[in-house]
Structure 1
Amino acid sequence: MQKKIIKVNKPDNVAVALVNLKAGEVVSFEGEDIKVLSDTKSKHKIALQKFESGDRIIMYSVLVGTANGIIEKGDVLTVDNVKHQSEKVFGKTESFSWTAPNVDKWKDKTFMGYHRPDGQVGTENVWLFFPLVFCENRNIEILKDIFERELLKQKVNPHQMLLRSLVSGHEETAETPTSTDVFKNIDVKFITHPGGCGGIRQDSEILAKLLAGYVNNPNVAGATVLSLGCQNLQISVFKEALNAINPNMEKPVLIYEQQQMGTVDEMLTAIVKDSFEAIKEANKQERQPAPISKLKVGLECGGSDGFSGISANPTLGAVSDLLVALNGTAVLAEFPELCGVEQELVNRCVDEEDGKKFLQLMKDFEKSVVDAGSGFDMNPSPGNIKDGLITDAMKSAGAAKKGGTSPVVSVLDYGEYIKEPGLNLLCTPGNDVESTTGLVGSGCNVVLFTTGLGTPTGNPIAPIIKVSSNTELKEKMPDIIDIETGAVIRAEKSIDEMAEEMLDFIIEVASGRVQTKAKLLNQNDFIPWKRGVSL
């Protein structure tokens, strides 16, 4: 018989409803009967004790809120009777040791990747077009239309045919496309953005680091870069950022400055000719076997629900531990969603200076949010709240499970590139696309993205593997979900069993044998995090 409620950790004084519960229903739990006092939807939390006003509410063994008045045993927790609260952290409080999982079955496994001269290995082979400033977005869009029409197989959008039929008044039939992909080993992708000028210089410098990270990402074979000429993000600033990440860059990077080239036609003619020859050369690269240690996996969540923290996110945590044990890399981001679990993460930092850096980044981030008239307590979205994540600390405690249990080897600010294998922390906002954009800019060649509500988020150069926390979402939105973890909720599979399946799936995606749903949808999201103001 399926359990009706579950307590995540032994010290917790609240439980998660696994099914919808009716008021008056009696639930047997840990040797006692609990009367449910209010209708409670699955994924929401019920009190396992009576709370007086100000009493601490514990979940995942950490403080996730305090009672905002009396909450009777068996009643549902809501945004009205609970307020956000998290522990204050001042530094490392205890030593940390870690027992790595057994990875004998994985040691000889490989994936088929694109080997780069600097030792990195890509899971994709992409030629990337992007501007240094938003003024060049139109030219990027023109180039996108030119290259996609000629280099990529033309696919007729069924909604285009629907509209054509509505306009003509009779059913239109699409002609079978006759063109085929010109190159089999290279994808051509395009990025546009609203930055590069108009804001403070620091924003342009951060954008330069991010774009340099995309060029240095092992999934990129080379790039075509467009500049206007007068913007804050000068070509020299971009080159300095690229040199700082990789002084021995061997990838071809073609840069064009419109104000030095005359007419748009003259510039585009040169770009098309030069880029085609470079793309043709990059197409000669082929996949070769690579050890799993060459995987750099970003850990992300978006559209989370009340099951995310007990199924999908812990599964990612177990995958992260497997990767670290294999000398691979995992990167945990979204600093607003680490609020409340800082102490555990600081204690896990190998270098005490990284612990201090993490706390300072968290402090500075929260101050900027408060100065803007908000706070981390405003982090849960309406969708999160509707599905049982009612405080930021509660959401954070579940989100942090993506980082597993391994030591933290490095703490990175936004735009900093991964330097060593192991678990890294990367300062990004909780915004799905801004965070995913940052993970890839820091060198991740695959991103695992958990969701309980569904999101189509993708990326231009890195595969985004969408992991649902429940089976219903996979069945409802099969076009965006790659793998689901509902079997964990039903107690049909353990977290470790699910993690092994997921690592196998990652290898298939990294080898190009399986395409992610985001790639099939051609979902290429790119939104840089803008920290400053506009001038």
Structure 2
Amino acid sequence: MERYLKIHSGDNVAVALTDLNENDRFEIDGNDVQLVQDIPVKHKFTLNAMNEGDTICMYGVPVGKLTTGLPAGSMLTVENTRHVAAPYHIGKQEYRYQPPEVDNYTDRTFQGYHRKDGQVGTANYWLFIPLVFCQNRNLKVLQEALETELGFRRENPYKLQVRELAGKFQGRTQEGTNTVEKNKVFPNVDGIKFLIHEGGCGGTRQDTQLLVNLLAGYIRHPNVAGATVLSLGCQHAQIAMLEEALGQTGEELGKPLLFFEQQQYSSEHTMLNEIIHDTFEGLRKANNCRRTSAPLSKLTLGLECGGSDGFSGISANPLIGVVADRINALKGKSILSEFPELCGVEQDLIDRCTTRETAGKFVRLMRNYETRAQEVGSGFDMNPSPGNIRDGLITDAIKSAGAATKGGRSPISDVLDYGEYATRKGLNLLCTPGNDVESTTGLAGAGANIILFSTGLGTPTGNPVCPVVKISSNSMLPEKINDIIDFDAGRLFSESKSQKELADELMELIIAVASGEKQTCAQKLQQDDFIPWKRGISL
């Protein structure tokens, strides 16, 4: 196994691939480098003596400046390094790109749910959507009734444990107390999902419109067969706003859409009875959907990272980028999110935009976001979390340069604001925070029907309607937390697997998940995370 990695020929630091010891010596690009201190795995060390104010380069771009002079073989830390990012501007759009060879996949298919608008789902869900937080209690009542009686709720193992402990405390025997889960009444419906949130009224009108646009994206999503929408009646987020954001009726979408406004009913009981009756009929229609063959061009990959470590940008993220390039070459879509984690690589992304207008929208969204962060005393430089820093991501630019590799090298066909839906083939950029759940919530709302999520430290994040494939950047993580990781990209180092071998394996996993042949760990855990982003500052 290699002990260090210099990522780009223009870099002046390297990454420790294993724990390195003081006085270890390496010949790097013809130069003798002796470490002056222990370097923990995933951390960076200087390749030559550097002065205070010198620029640190990784991935071929500036990622920081030294706040003190360092000899060669020194570790970068938050004490000796500060964030810096390269300036950017809109120039001529002359990006040249050679798509990857995808002949092995041109005739490959997955088994998906074909929708009237031409999209193909990787799952078949029914949605319950509240337009305002006032309906959350009603949703919870409906959730308990529908999931339990229609066979969508799995027995909670901790409920049985509590039952046993309570029985022992009260001197009761536990024979016959275990319950048997019901068979699914609608076997072709993968689940009923409830998008509980805290918005829809009381905030700014901008937040309300953003929420409505996002909810419209979930209704439009190819993994959704139909939806039940609950409204109070007097809130900011009106039914008419949702219908306008959709721009299509349920009939045009080919999906049953059911709307209920509580202030139009004589009692809550009356409304809930009608909701259950009408939704049951909608579920009968959704159950008529069957998986049939679809080309890989019908896949839309969401590209996400969270709980990143010092290996994320050299194993898992570049691997995701290779797979995204393949899907784009097959005329599918990919969506790269988390704008705070594109800080420092803006120029490369601008140069890859297919039109000047697209580049201009990206610059506008990035600068507006950074300005809002600075107005509240923050900034992109504050993005790395304590976990990131402990594992070697000590500046936002280091984190960003590695995070951006998830987007591969494809040209950028479109730039989307939060709540906008992806319609153009190829790579799309989506303005989201770096916050995992706010970002994955936005990716699904933009139409991603599978999300590829890299992690180095581990996170259980999932999504109500979109399978989330968790990809570990290192091989220690799946051994440590084996119930949340779907794929080990760390085998690039631990088993000396080639990137092509791993990309081929990941493609097969994606096809299996898209076809319903495999469930992701997040699906097995029923990890349905849904947090809409408010326009306030969230990094």
State the distance in 2 between where 1:27 and 1:41 align.
Answer: 16
- Is 1:515 paired with 2:519? yes
State the distance in 1 between where 2:152 and 2:165 align.
Answer: 26
SS at match of 1:169: helix
AA matched with 1:516: T
Deviations 1:392-432 (A, max 9, x none): 00000000000000100001111111111100001001000
- Is 1:198 paired with 2:202? yes
- Is 1:456 paired with 2:460? yes
State the distance in 2 between where 1:97 and 1:246 align.
Answer: 42
Aligned runs of 1:88-487 on 2, under 5 Å?
88-92=87-91, 95-152=94-151, 155-169=154-168, 172=174, 174-177=177-180, 179-186=182-189, 187-243=191-247, 248-487=252-491
**Contact 2:325/2:409 (<8 A) preserved:** yes
**Contact 2:93/2:353 (<8 A) preserved:** no
SS at match of 2:127: strand
SS at match of 1:10: coil
Give, in angstroms, the shift of residue 210 of structure 1.
Answer: 0.2
AA matched with 1:74: G
**Contact 2:122/2:450 (<8 A) preserved:** yes
State the distance in 1 between where 2:531 and 2:450 align.
Answer: 17
Which stretch shows the higher mean deviation, 90-99 or 341-350?
90-99
Give, in angstroms, the shift of residue 168 of structure 1.
Answer: 2.9
SS at match of 2:164: helix
State the distance in 2 between where 1:349 and 1:40 align.
Answer: 39
Residue of structure 1 in register with 2:37 after alignment = 38
Give, in angstroms, the shift of residue 119 of structure 1.
Answer: 0.4
**Contact 1:216/1:245 (<8 A) preserved:** no
**Contact 2:339/2:432 (<8 A) preserved:** yes
Judging changes above 3 Å, is the alpha-carbon distance between structure 1 residues 283 and 238 closer, same or farther for their aligned structure 2 residues?
A: same
**Contact 1:330/1:422 (<8 A) preserved:** yes
Which stretch shows the higher mean deviation, 164-173 or 252-261?
164-173
State the distance in 1 between where 2:181 and 2:351 align.
Answer: 60
SS at match of 1:192: coil
State the distance in 2 between where 1:317 and 1:221 align.
Answer: 30
Aligned runs of 1:9-24 on 2, under 5 Å?
9-24=8-23
Q: Kindly, what percent of the aligned residue pairs are identical?
A: 52
Give, in angstroms, the shift of residue 497 of structure 1.
Answer: 2.1
**Contact 2:151/2:181 (<8 A) preserved:** no
Is there any run of 5+ residues in structure 1 with no aligned partner, and where? Answer: none
Give, in angstroms, the shift of residue 49 of structure 1.
Answer: 1.1
State the distance in 2 between where 1:87 and 1:28 align.
Answer: 29
Which stretch shows the higher mean deviation, 109-118 or 32-41?
32-41
Deviations 1:81-125 (A, max 9, x none): 000001111212562111011111100000000000010000000
**Contact 2:454/2:472 (<8 A) preserved:** yes
State the distance in 2 between where 1:86 and 1:172 align.
Answer: 63
**Contact 2:160/2:178 (<8 A) preserved:** no
Give, in angstroms, the shift of residue 485 of structure 1.
Answer: 0.6
Give, in angstroms, the shift of residue 228 of structure 1.
Answer: 0.4
**Contact 1:197/1:204 (<8 A) preserved:** yes
State the distance in 2 between where 1:52 and 1:206 align.
Answer: 47
**Contact 1:130/1:224 (<8 A) preserved:** yes
**Contact 2:301/2:451 (<8 A) preserved:** yes
TM-score by length of 2: 0.96
**Contact 2:250/2:256 (<8 A) preserved:** no
State the distance in 1 between where 2:531 and 2:249 align.
Answer: 21
SS at match of 1:189: strand
Give, in angstroms, the shift of residue 247 of structure 1.
Answer: 9.9
Q: CA RMSD in A?
A: 1.6
Give, in angstroms, the shift of residue 24 of structure 1.
Answer: 2.6
TM-score by length of 1: 0.97
State the distance in 1 between where 2:110 and 2:147 align.
Answer: 28
Is there any run of 5+ residues in structure 2 with no aligned partner, and where? Answer: none
